[in-house]
Amino acid sequence: MEQAEQTHLEVTVRRGDADGGKDEVFRVPAHDNQTILDVVSWIQQYSDPTLTYRFACRVGMCGSCAMMVNGEPRWTCRTHVNKVLDGNKLHIAPLRNLPVIKDLAVDMDPFFDKWVEAEGKHHPTKTRDDPIEQINPESAERSEANAGIECINCSVCYAACDTVAGNPDYLGPAALQRAWTLFNDAKNEDKQTILDAVSGTSGCHNCHSMGSCTHYCPNDLNPMAAVAGLKRETAKSFFRRRKNA
Amino acid sequence: MTRPPRSHPLWLAFVLHRLSGLALALFLPAHFWVLSMALTQPQRLDSFLEFAENPMVKLAEFGLVFLLSVHIFGGLRLLALEFLPWSNKQKSLAAGAVGLSLFVSGTFFLQAI
Ligand code: HEM
Ligand code: SF4
Ligand code: SF4
Ligand code: FES
């Protein structure tokens, strides 16, 4: 209701590049139904065409639009202004824990490189000539794998994680969750390769289970639980190997 | 850089665990040093124990017992989280660890005064 009486929002946007930046304030017309991405787009279209930001789908599918909104990481296309407004003020900044390219666009390369580093890629068990394997969708293993497949690679969890902030090599919640998903996928071979990839100095044991990843994931996924699963399996495999050595 | 995302229950549990761990690491050497006086300087230990009867010192001990207890129960929660099958009740378990610790340290305090 307060919203309806406000005609304008006071929007502070972090401008700059890898060498630093400064805050700039814009006055943006307020509407009843408005997302953070709408606000950013309005600034770029009507106030300052040099404002750089990134989006694609506008419906929470592509994972390209995440930014820090009033200090918290969010998918901007599906975050309503009313939900996060502080008085009539907004602060919009590039995603945390990633290098800034320009203004609100960050370089996501380190984030994606870590998916590969964590062996978050498919290791097939069969070739195209084999018959398709039947998977029981109700099996415990498959349920565990299903839990993480809706990840849209938005990096919100990665931006929320204080352990990433403290150790830039830490693989982070999303990459580890992908590794856990594949570890539980019956069509994925070479489980030990995954466990080895996630148990090094940059791996899952860095995690302090503070749960910011799970708290902020816009798709309600639970990377903290996935990381805990990897901790459990890597520990088991460690003792198994010692027994067999 | 913008203010990092914080102050949800499990993040606070993490901070409590770290602060209590650090406080214990500072406290324990002092504790062992005082205990060692039983062998080296019994009179000095006696006068320290007299000083420890002071209600303010009792209150400080209540704090220490709380820190130790919250670190143990919180630590057990983390070990369970990492090594037992996953449970979705982490917030309740963390709150339970704090509650249990208040109970333990409160009981200690009532015994002590
Ligand atoms: C028997 C009781 C104890 C248990 C079950 C326990 C458990 C734990 C666990 C599981 C962690 C890892 C937390 C994380 O991943 O963030 C930890 C961290 C820590 N513990 Fe303990 N601990 C105990 C006693 C102690 C004592 C007596 C001290 C003091 C000397 C201590 C000092 C610390 C410190 C400084 C940390 C690092 C905190 C951090 O990384 O956030 N702990 N403890
Ligand atoms: S639970 Fe682990 S991965 Fe998730 S935010 Fe905390 S430290 Fe990062
Ligand atoms: S786990 Fe959630 S927050 Fe993290 S990248 Fe995937 S969808 Fe985004
Ligand atoms: S623009 Fe695709 S998720 Fe927001």
pLDDT in tens, B85-99: 999 999 999 999 999
Phi, psi torsion values for A229, nearest 5 degrees: -60, -40
Distance CA A107, CA A186 (A): 33
Distance CA A122, CA A36 (A): 35
pLDDT at A175: 98
**What residues have CB less than 8 Å from A186, skipping those under 6 apart?**
A125, A133, A135, A139, A141, A142
Give the distance from residue B102's alpha carbon to the nearest chain A alpha carbon, in angstroms. Answer: 22
| Contact (CB, 8 A) for A197 and A118 | yes
Distance CA A217, CA A116 (A): 21
Nearest to A154 by CA among A202, A213, A71: A213
pLDDT in tens, A38-85: 999 999 999 999 999 999 999 999 999 999 999 999 999 999 999 999
pLDDT at A3: 47
pLDDT at A156: 98
Q: Out of B2, B6, B82, whose CB is closest to A93?
A: B2
Query: What is the domain partition of chain B in residue ranges?
Result: 14-112
Contact A210 B10 (CB under 8 A): yes
Distance CA B53, CA B26 (A): 22
Whole-number Å distance, alpha carbon A76 to ligand 4 midpoint, is: 7
Nearest to B1 by CA among A144, A108, A99: A99
A210 touches chain B (CB under 8 A): yes
Question: A216 contacts in B (CB within 8 Å)?
Answer: 5
Check the CA dihedral A61-A53-A11-A216 and report its sign.
Answer: positive
Q: Out of A91, A96, A231, whose CB is closest to B1?
A: A96
Contact A229 B86 (CB under 8 A): yes
A86-114 CB burial, b ≥16 within 10 A, e <16: eebebbbbbbbbbebbbbbbbebebbeeb
Query: What is the domain partition of chain A in residue ranges?
Result: 2-106, 109-244
**Atom 3 in ligand 4: residue holding the nearest Cα:** A60
pLDDT in tens, B34-83: 999 989 999 999 999 988 888 888 899 999 999 999 999 999 999 999 99
Give the distance from residue A37's alpha carbon to the nearest chain B alpha carbon, in angstroms. Answer: 19
pLDDT at A245: 72
pTM score of the predicted model: 0.90
Does the structural domain A2-106 have CATH classification 3.10.20.30? yes
Q: Is A243 exposed, middle or buried (0-12, 13-18, 19+ CB in 10 A)?
A: exposed
User: Cβ(A217) to ligand 3 under 6 A?
Assistant: yes
**Atom 5 in ligand 2: residue holding the nearest Cα:** A161
Q: Complex ipTM, two decimals?
A: 0.83
Give the distance from residue A126's alpha carbon to the nearest chain B alpha carbon, in angstroms. Answer: 30
Homologous superfamily (CATH) of A109-244 is: Alpha-helical ferredoxin (1.10.1060.10)
Contact A228 B82 (CB under 8 A): yes
Question: How distant, in Å, are the alpha carbons of A3, A119, A183, A192, A194 from that of A189?
Answer: 54, 11, 8, 9, 9
* B2 band by pLDDT with thresholds 50, 70 and 90: very low
**Atom 4 in ligand 3: residue holding the nearest Cα:** A157
Distance CA A89, CA A39 (A): 12
With 60 as the cut, is the pLDDT of residue B113 above it? yes
Does the structural domain B14-112 have CATH classification 1.20.1300.10? yes
Contact B11 A212 (CB under 8 A): yes
Low-confidence ranges of chain A (pLDDT < 50): 1-4
**What residues have CB less than 8 Å from A216, skipping those under 6 apart?**
A72, A73, A74, A156, A157, A159, A160, B5
**What residues have CB less than 8 Å from A168, skipping those under 6 apart?**
A97, A110
**Atom 1 in ligand 4: residue holding the nearest Cα:** A58
Question: How distant, in Å, are the alpha carbons of B67, B105, B107, B110 from that of B102?
Answer: 9, 5, 8, 12
- Pinpoint the alpha helices (H) of chain B: 9-40, 42-51, 55-83, 90-112
Q: Out of B1, B5, B86, whose CB is closest to A160?
A: B5
| Contact (CB, 8 A) for A227 and B20 | no
